Structure 1
Amino acid sequence: MATAEAECEQMVGAGVKNLRIAILGGGIGGLAAGAFLRREGISATIYEQASQLKEVGAGLVVAPNAARLLRRLGVLDDFLRHAVRLEIGWEFRRWQDGTVLSAEDLAAACEQLYGEHTYTAHRADLLHVLRSAVPDSGIRLGKRCVDLTTRGDGRPVLRFADGEIVEPDVVIGADGIHSVVRSTIAESSPAAYSGICAFRALVPSERAPAFSRRNAQTLWIGPGHHLVHYPVSAGRFVNLVAFAPAGDDAVESWTATATVEEFLAEFEGWDPRLTELIQAGGTPGRWALLDRAPLRRWSKGAVTLLGDAAHPMFPFFGQGAAQAIEDAAVLARCLAGEPGDPSQALRRYETLRIPRTRRLQEVSHARALINHLPDGPEQQARDKSFADADPLVANGWIYAYDLDEAPEGSAATSRSAMYWRAGRGTRKLPE
């Protein structure tokens, strides 16, 4: 057995060292891809058009499926210095009076069911720990890709705004919902406006009402609207995000703002505690949610997509960042398993990932309708269904996902699973 394992390591190691990977985009997905590829011994360079790496936006949820992968990267302990461990999750409350319709008891059951806890964090804190797993030499800033073509032998060719030309073996498009890479794989079409806009604010904890400072992810749901809040940044802030019908002036931008009065007007008549929370947040950001239909394919030759470039989804299941991290881990393993045939590795990658991400896109899309039902028989039936089901168990198909089980039978498993578990160049993984 020892001989077979050594041969497996030699075969995989020799092949992956010759691969050159270009990742377009230095956000959560791109950095996760760089980190997991490095873990597999594969050289990757991240090209980011901004002059510095920074994550705009505010809070996010790191559920067990994402926490599991952060642990395997060896960055979970650093992440926990800034994250908040939730005790209550998916606490649905009625818009008018805050009646609790349903809640996950994360403190008692989450780790027992899924082997990890659930956390909330500022997006910048997650970006920071992923950045720590990528060497400085693997990141190039101020690099805006203006063209992607393919040579006669199938090798991708990248052209950047500064005139540089790069010819890697594989291109990974982690460049978001407006992806340049996506347009070379799928028919080019603009993202559609969803008719929903989001207000967001970070409320300093000393100004936030006590009910919002609990270690809980709370969703207030009502006619045409819903509002979410949870603590981030080790409890120093409360992340507040709310969804409402988009007006004609809504734009897709993390830097656009609204007024406190506009925010309050959308939630007029809701539980008065929310008025206090909204007022404590100061000037809110506002952006329009964009919508894209799921893709049938993510890859073409030696070019593929990852994260929002592949499967943008509404944020209503809190899985956008988690799915990008899952993509990165599976893609790295597939490339390590087929170092001599990257195109085959990319086909395997999309085969493994598309069904799961498509399902999450669909259920996230449907959640907008469910959360925003007007009061009446359908709303009453929904509330009863919430009371009758444990969301922690109902969402098990999301949280229980494990990389070491999902790719069974793939080339990546047969050639590199032992290599992965040995923790090449890093700490040994838990068996």
Structure 2
Amino acid sequence: MDIASLNCIVLGGGIGGLTTAIMLRRAGAAVRVLEQAPRITEVGAGLQISPNGFVVLEKLGLGSALRAKSVRGQSVLLRDYKGTEVVRLDLARLPCGDYHFVHRADLVHILEHAALAAGVEISLGHTAMSVTPGPAPQVTLKDGSMLDCDLVVGADGLHSVARQALNGTSAPFFTRQVAWRAVIPETGADPQAQVFMGPHRHLVTYPLRGGRMRNLVAVQERAQWHEESWTAEDDPETLRGVFGDFGRDAKDLLDRVEKVNRWGLFRHSVAAKWHLGGVVLAGDAAHPTLPFMAQGANMALEDAFALGRCLGDGSTLEAALSAYQDMRFDRVRRVVDTASRNAWKYHLSFPPLRAAAHAALRIGGALMPGRMVGQFDWIYGYDVTATDV
């Protein structure tokens, strides 16, 4: 199959969509990205790009651009909610030292610039309402117009119309956890992530943009149902009240929050069907993941590279898309399951159990520091760009 003969539409101008567009266009395909937002703005907050995602950017020649716009992480510090240090994880022990904290808007800008330079057409303010698989798949836009192409890539996120076309609708499972996201000003910070672990709650923070900003993500267990949106605004006083018993260091960060978004955390299954009739899924459209391993953006980067490779190697479009799902399915399911199981470790509420768990972490960090970080080598050490994958 000749990729250069394909006329492709990519739904979604986020990280996965733009990276996929770059891969396809550089292989010669005609590519149009449809993004429903009227313009590329400072939407979103911080991301962690771990080595398995960074290798994709490096392979695309964008590694230096990311390094210039991000903070290279050196460690992760786990702390008790009152502020006591539990264990420090050295990120230099990872298989590749490129672990970066970056503002989502900065990464999207890097990818947008590379896509335009490659000749990708980016159409803003275009909302896809439905996708029809078939020999010549179609995309129906909000204004009623219909677009034909050879390949539709559904990189349109959590509420993907492409996923619905392939898998129908399914009700997500509310995890009984609610999260807040904020970015605050900073005057300089160590290049490390910090996690404050409290009863039924935790707070994650790390620097952005050379230490001039700081990302905050706070999570609380609760039974109350919340809408599934990360753009809903909340009152910063509500956030401060929920974490009012945290220690001084955490409170100092929360006191600087002027604007905060809140969203309910829902568990979605990995899509059973990733492709049909010239329509294929990527990123959150195929496998939404909870944020507790910081792998959403990295999985989207891996997907984009894998899809481009399979299209280049496949004898037919159908064979290429089948190979892509086979290559990715087990890995993303394992990552999604790991993220889903990870939150409870930060939320221990029974004091003796929490004390014992934190003591075990301290001992493990002192006696086996490499093992503490190395337990996730299967995630961070994976290189989707390697020829033997």
Q: List runs of 5+ in structure 1 lacking aligned partners.
A: 1-11, 409-431
CA distance in structure 2 between the partners assigned to 1:296 and 1:172 by the alignment: 16
Paired residues for 1:15-414 under 5 Å: 15-54=2-41, 56-89=43-76, 91-96=77-82, 98-106=83-91, 108-110=92-94, 113-114=95-96, 116-135=97-116, 137-151=120-134, 154-206=135-187, 213-246=189-222, 248=224, 250-338=226-314, 340-387=315-362, 388=364, 390=369, 391-405=372-386, 408=389
Distance 1:33 1:54, change over 3 A: farther
Q: Secondary structure at the match of 1:181?
A: helix
Shift of 1:124: 0.3
- Whichever residue aligns with residue 289 of structure 2, its letter is M
> Any idea what the Cα deviations from partners look like across 1:329-364, whole Å, max 9, x if unmatched?
0000101112x5111111100111111110111010
Instruction: After superposing the two structures, state which structure 1 stretch, 309-318 or 15-24, moved more.
Output: 15-24
Q: Normalization by structure 2: what TM-score? A: 0.92
CA distance in structure 2 between the partners assigned to 1:406 and 1:232 by the alignment: 33
> Any idea what the Cα deviations from partners look like across 1:64-107, whole Å, max 9, x if unmatched?
11111111111121222220011212x211113x232222212x
Shift of 1:257: 2.2
CA distance in structure 2 between the partners assigned to 1:191 and 1:44 by the alignment: 32
Q: Secondary structure at the match of 1:134?
A: helix
CA distance in structure 2 between the partners assigned to 1:55 and 1:348 by the alignment: 36
CA distance in structure 1 between the partners assigned to 2:147 and 2:382 by the alignment: 36
CA distance in structure 2 between the partners assigned to 1:258 and 1:163 by the alignment: 35
- Whichever residue aligns with residue 244 of structure 2, its letter is E
Q: Is the 8 A contact 1:40 1:333 kept in 2?
A: no
Q: Is the 8 A contact 1:54 1:127 kept in 2?
A: no
- Whichever residue aligns with residue 364 of structure 1, its letter is A
Q: Normalization by structure 1: what TM-score? A: 0.83
Instruction: After superposing the two structures, state which structure 1 stretch, 183-192 or 340-349, moved more.
Output: 183-192
- Whichever residue aligns with residue 125 of structure 2, its letter is G
CA distance in structure 2 between the partners assigned to 1:359 and 1:279 by the alignment: 37
CA distance in structure 2 between the partners assigned to 1:392 and 1:398 by the alignment: 11
Q: Is the 8 A contact 2:133 2:165 kept in 1?
A: no
> Any idea what the Cα deviations from partners look like across 1:302-355, whole Å, max 9, x if unmatched?
2111111111111111110010000000000101112x5111111100111111
Shift of 1:238: 0.8
Instruction: After superposing the two structures, state which structure 1 stretch, 161-170 or 365-374, moved more.
Output: 161-170
Larger Rg: 1
Q: Secondary structure at the match of 2:9?
A: strand
Q: Secondary structure at the match of 1:294?
A: coil
Identity over aligned pairs, percent: 34
Q: Secondary structure at the match of 2:115?
A: coil
